[in-house]
Structure 1
Amino acid sequence: MADSRVVSSVRSWAGGLVPERGTARTLALLTMVQAVGFGLFLSASTIFLRRSVGLSAGEVGVGLSVAGLAGLLLTVPIGRAADRWGARLPLVAVYALLAVLFAGYTMVSGLVSFVLIASAISICETSSTPLRMTLTYEAFEPAARVRVSAQMRSFFNVGIVFGAAMASVAVAMDSREAFVAVMVVTAACHAGCALIAARVPARRPQVPSDGRDPVRSRSGLRDLRFVSLALLCGVLELYQPILTVGLPLWIMDHTEAPTSVYSILLILNTVLVIALQVVASRAAETATGAATLLRRAGLLLALGCLVFAFSEATSPMVAVPLLLLGTAVLVWGELSQAAGSWGVSLHLPPPGRQGDYQGVFALGRGLQQTVGPFLVATVVVSNGQPGWWGLAALFVLAGVACPPLTRAAQNRRSDLALAGR
């Protein structure tokens, strides 16, 4: 009897990972193809810029920072365009432009051309996420939106693994031709994304109940409760630079663990996200449940920081298990943050304003991407254990603030609906 329950649970878990036929499976494929290109580019681009183009490490850092800021500029206007014409057309255009821009990377010859192309890519990539979320909102009923988003994220991580594996071949070849091939394949992936996105059935944007033109309505930037939630979700998303910047620096400079353990931590992160994201997202089917997940994320991320802090100056026999445990806790916080973010961003926007509000919500992620690596490297890691304690306190405060802010945002939406605004 117990064995049958276990088998049934495993089948249910495995079945939840696979999107249903139709639009859900198309969006999962879209996400995976984009992730293959993203994994390729992310794993090889810095080496390409250093060795083939000749940029210094400082020039690469400055260029990426400028590009990150540029990516924040147009997400809200593009989101408002999605409210008028639907998300599919702008998303197809963004992917098509990315294909051209990544191909143009092969012609980068110096800092100026690098900054220009990187900034244009950042604008398109930053806009693609809110457009995909708006498309998900348009394509599915409320009960399915978070589940489909979770499945897309699992497929995204599968694509990242494939892309990084392909990039490792180019890095091993260490030639300009190999890196040019990486850029061409990345461009081809995004061209494929444009074709896949074009296959998603077009749906008319939702019309507000009061009949007002959503494009002429007040910008979501004036909804301070929602903006605050977006920024708090950006704070909770600092798990990203912890994984990509903080942990390798921490392992090298503050622990006795072998640097090779970092690869194991990345594999652990990827496997857990692929396997558990759908399961971890089930509580985010309401705004209240999503806010609870965000609070849980803050507490789990804080706990992960404390575990990392205790690995300082310990023997490898102690440091490695602590790093593995801290990563597992951090990943559970990551899963909760991702699901909670989808929930509040999908449930709280007023009718007909999904694109605008998704663009606003992307600002929190964009600020994290711009400030996060510097914060984690220079404030957290450089200060040792006190740095981790400070970041843990920040996570707790951000997580605990999400439920009351979500309730305030829900009350405001109800008041506006009653007033007919």
Structure 2
Amino acid sequence: MPWVRSGLTARLRKPPGGRDARIMLLAQCVDRTGTGVWAAASVLYFTFVDGLDARRLGLLLGVGALAGIAGSPLAGRAAERFAVRDLLIGCHLLRLATMSLLLVADDFAALLPVVALTCLGERAAKTLEMLFATRVAGDQRATYQALSRSVANAGYALGAGVAALGLAIGTVTAYRALILADVLSFVLAAALVRRTREPEGHGLIVARHDDGAANEPPDSSSPWRDRGYMLFVLLDIPMNLDDSVLAVGLPLWLVHHTDAPHSVVPAFLVLNTVLVVVLQLRVSAWIEGPRGALAAVGWYGVTLAACCLVLAVVTGGGSWSASLAMLAAALLVTLAELLRSVSSWELAVSLAPPRARASYLGVAGMSQSVQKSLGPLLLTGAVMTAGPAGWLALGAAVTGLGLVQRRAGLRRLAALASRTAPEPRVGAVGGR
């Protein structure tokens, strides 16, 4: 598809935010390549190199997921006081140190804090990248987000390919070489981030009236006490369930409830990666502004419900029909992901008070981390246990919650607009 390659290349050459945005996108690609290497190899590394059994491995990954939840609000709070660029470099260096420790730490008690700090640094880094993009891209943040996801998916795919080479060799030395590849990615990413300039907006921002008088320092209210925003954050957790459906639900349903061959499972990731790279920019162009994002939330629920419906009826039939149905479900869940990835970020920014945006975005970033922790448990412990009815119930629930999110978002936008609307001056036309 030449039009896709040329369009994406043109956007990468002149992304929203200019030179600094281009360097940051390159840093993200490098970072995600290393992350892709480790994501593909981590479970096997802990199993065959460190000798962890399934129980301890599950505990280790669970602790890491919990630590990741804390990374987003900590990063957001820190970004209110310190430079985003410096904090992001610190996150890369933290993960460089913890991943290096994995080469020498083989005791379970030592692995727990190492993995926890790695996951905390990873989630904090993603939140800081989001803050950086929000500041440099401005109103074009949806386009930047689309470029970011396209670049990130390309990096993940490249990293998975590198990991496949090491896993094919299968020696301890090969596994440790994959860790070194991840470590190298953090070095390169930190060096690239250091070449960017700090975007305007960190720390205390002093706003001015038209007459030049300075306002008070930015709103220091806590997002944790903002019930309207916390409602958005809570509702955004089920709006991220496409991630667990793709990574956990589809493979397990195929293996245990259909006649489709197991070789179809890798095609889910391939299809997802290709579609994100090809379509993310076009979807972002359709989702313009907060009202467009709220409309996309409604379509997200419908699309994910359609995926659940396909999974509910795919239990019968032969291998060919089951394979096609499962690929159709993967297509639908990917379309849901394309809608969510842009709308979730746009709403996290638009529904936050502009002068306390960093701490608010840090709290909003928890939604993905919480979903990654609870989503697999929901699917394996409730949805798939209930069989086809479980999928139908999940689809209906997400669709309903999407409508609730849309209505709550519209009320929130109206409240923010009334809060920031200028008061009429005495003597002005229409004033009294």
> TM-score band, normalised by the shorter chain?
over 0.9
CA change 1:26–1:385 in 2 (3 A) is same
TM-score (norm 1): 0.92
> Are 1:24 and 2:21 matched, yes or no?
yes
> Are 1:190 and 2:186 matched, yes or no?
yes
Instruction: Select which of 395, 399, 403 maps to 1:400.
Output: 403
1:3 corresponds to: none
Q: Given that residues 12 and 22 in structure 2 are in contact (C-alpha distance below 8 angstroms), is that contact kept between their aligned partners in structure 1?
A: no
Q: Given that residues 106 and 180 in structure 1 are in contact (C-alpha distance below 8 angstroms), is that contact kept between their aligned partners in structure 2?
A: yes
SS at match of 1:252: helix
Shift of 1:10: 8.4
Matches within 5 A, 1:244-393: 244-393=247-396
SS at match of 1:140: helix
Instruction: Select which of 152, 158, 169 maps to 1:156.
Output: 152
Structure 1 gap segments, 5+ residues each:
1-5
Shift of 1:44: 0.3
1:82 corresponds to: 79
Per-residue CA distance 1:66-93 (angstroms, 9 max, x = gap)? 1211222242232122122232111111
**Match for 2:378: what amino acid?**
L
Instruction: Select which of 158, 172, 175 maps to 2:171.
Output: 175
CA change 1:15–1:307 in 2 (3 A) is farther
CA change 1:363–1:322 in 2 (3 A) is same
Shift of 1:316: 1.0
Per-residue CA distance 1:310-350 (angstroms, 9 max, x = gap)? 11132112111111111111111110011101211222222
Q: Given that residues 307 and 326 in structure 1 are in contact (C-alpha distance below 8 angstroms), is that contact kept between their aligned partners in structure 2?
A: yes
**Match for 1:52: what amino acid?**
V
Shift of 1:418: 5.0
Matches within 5 A, 1:52-201: 52-142=49-139, 144-201=140-197
Shift of 1:247: 1.3
**Match for 1:327: what amino acid?**
A
Aligned partners of 1:290 and 1:176: how far apart in 2? 47
CA change 1:10–1:119 in 2 (3 A) is closer
Shift of 1:251: 0.9
Shift of 1:367: 0.7
Shift of 1:18: 5.7
Q: Given that residues 234 and 368 in structure 1 are in contact (C-alpha distance below 8 angstroms), is that contact kept between their aligned partners in structure 2?
A: yes
**Match for 1:27: what amino acid?**
M
Q: Given that residues 302 and 392 in structure 1 are in contact (C-alpha distance below 8 angstroms), is that contact kept between their aligned partners in structure 2?
A: yes
Aligned partners of 1:360 and 1:177: how far apart in 2? 40
1:224 corresponds to: 227
CA change 1:8–1:276 in 2 (3 A) is closer
2:429 corresponds to: none
**Match for 2:196: what amino acid?**
V
> Are 1:49 and 2:46 matched, yes or no?
yes
SS at match of 2:355: coil
Aligned partners of 1:419 and 1:255: how far apart in 2? 60
**In angstroms, what is the RMSD of aligned CA positions?**
2.2
Q: Given that residues 71 and 124 in structure 1 are in contact (C-alpha distance below 8 angstroms), is that contact kept between their aligned partners in structure 2?
A: yes
CA change 1:10–1:65 in 2 (3 A) is closer
Structure 2 gap segments, 5+ residues each:
208-213, 424-432
SS at match of 2:390: helix
Give aligned pairs, total.
413
Per-residue CA distance 1:45-69 (angstroms, 9 max, x = gap)? 1100001101111111111111211
CA change 1:19–1:59 in 2 (3 A) is farther
**Percent of residue pairs bearing the same amino acid type:** 26
CA change 1:8–1:194 in 2 (3 A) is closer
**Match for 2:102: what amino acid?**
Y
Aligned partners of 1:184 and 1:228: how far apart in 2? 42
Per-residue CA distance 1:364-404 (angstroms, 9 max, x = gap)? 11110111111112222232201211211121022112221
Q: Given that residues 4 and 278 in structure 2 are in contact (C-alpha distance below 8 angstroms), is that contact kept between their aligned partners in structure 1?
A: no
